Structure 1
Amino acid sequence: MNQPTHLNATKVFYRPVDVAIRWSGLLEYEAEILEHMSQGADLAADTPCNWSILNLNLERLLDAMRHGELSYGKAGITRNDPALLTSPELTIRHVDVKRWMSSAYPAQKPAFLFDEAERLSPKVITQATAQALLEQIHSLTAQSVSPQRSSQQESQLRLNSRAETTYLNIIGALLTLLLGHSPGGVRYSSFNTLESVISALIAHHSGRPGITERTLWAKFAEAKRHLSAYS
């Protein structure tokens, strides 16, 4: 009688194929997949389901190990021995797989690595999303510090107190998100400090109104104070 899959999904350490099977959501086919592999059969063809994703995920794991992004070893003991990469005794620890996947594939939360609370937590911000947030911060900041407008333009574009508070709260919330992390400890973005956010803004938007180190520090500090006042 087959053992229920949820009882043997999580282990202290795995072979790369074990991780790929679980990552691909194919644990129910594990025995059949391993039999195919032992016979040298093509997993992407003549199988009861599409196992091509298994090959892709397996290659992703091996690529990460080859490039030093994912620790590996033998019998669950970490060893930095490249000869193991072609050995059937190659293993990867559970904690190392989870750490690597959180960084390399933050949007993916396979159940054998992440508990229910972690899978339900907000998705990590991708680099593209982070850039969009930076654009939004730039736009909001520029509206409050645009130089050399005529008196009529200043009158039309000057932020009233309520609108300015709204903008500052939005900026503060975006900063909190950029520098925060999920309940499971996974960072929402690659930015670790406020200084790194400011550096990125200046690098991408230098010369635009409001995008100076002094102004950004002042505005961000003001935004954080406004947001804290409503906490």
Structure 2
Amino acid sequence: MRTPSTLFAKVYYRPIEAAIRLSNLHRFEEQILQRLNGRPRPTPDDFPRWPGLLLKTDQIFDALLNGDLPYGKAGITCANPALLDDPGLTIRHVDLRAWMEKFYPEDRPRFLFSPPECRGLSREAVKDLINEHNNLTLRLNECTSDYMALKEQNATLTRQVIDLQKKSPPDNLSDRGRSTLLNIIGGLLTALRGSSPTGKPFTSYESDSAIMDLIIAHHQGRLGISERTMQKYFAAARRSLAA
């Protein structure tokens, strides 16, 4: 099982401890420290198997000597050159991280950087992703609420349609009976909207709308007494007579 990299993180490090972690030699830390026996830096002959350890140590001391990496003693930053030979020389975790970000941005050791940062994501990019995730979560919750409301409305309308279908009488008319009723309706429309050979209107109704308004005014609320229904049957009646 992989050991969490946070177990190797410390508030501050001795240079050799930092080099061990940067070389990914955590498992051999005790062995390396015993071999050095208090010496701050290894020699080329100390660990020929691990040339990277010598390189990382040299890089750290180069940064200390040139002022690129703050240092101190026992975790307290103090720019005193005499400390460079002191066994108590230390580097703070935050300073080591900042130095790596500036001078070795391609290296992302797991004890210094979070998993997203190790995959090449900056802190700003991670924050942007978190904000985007939160915004999308809010939008999802809003859409879910809207969906539930629309779903309830649909259920209500569906129940209303079923109730109306139950109340509507079945159409048991034969084709002949249906044609007969349509012809009668068409005849009544002709009588109400027609005119004599001389052009004199039979009635004062100049449009279907006027006839519909009259019927609705006297029989509003009865089944089929609506403008939409009458428009449908008036048109069907005229087609029946013209057939």
Q: TM (normalized to structure 1)?
A: 0.48
Work out which of the two has the higher radius of gyration on C-alpha atoms and give 1 or 2. Answer: 2
Higher relative contact order (Cα pairs below 8 Å, separated by 6+ residues): 1
Q: TM (normalized to structure 2)?
A: 0.46
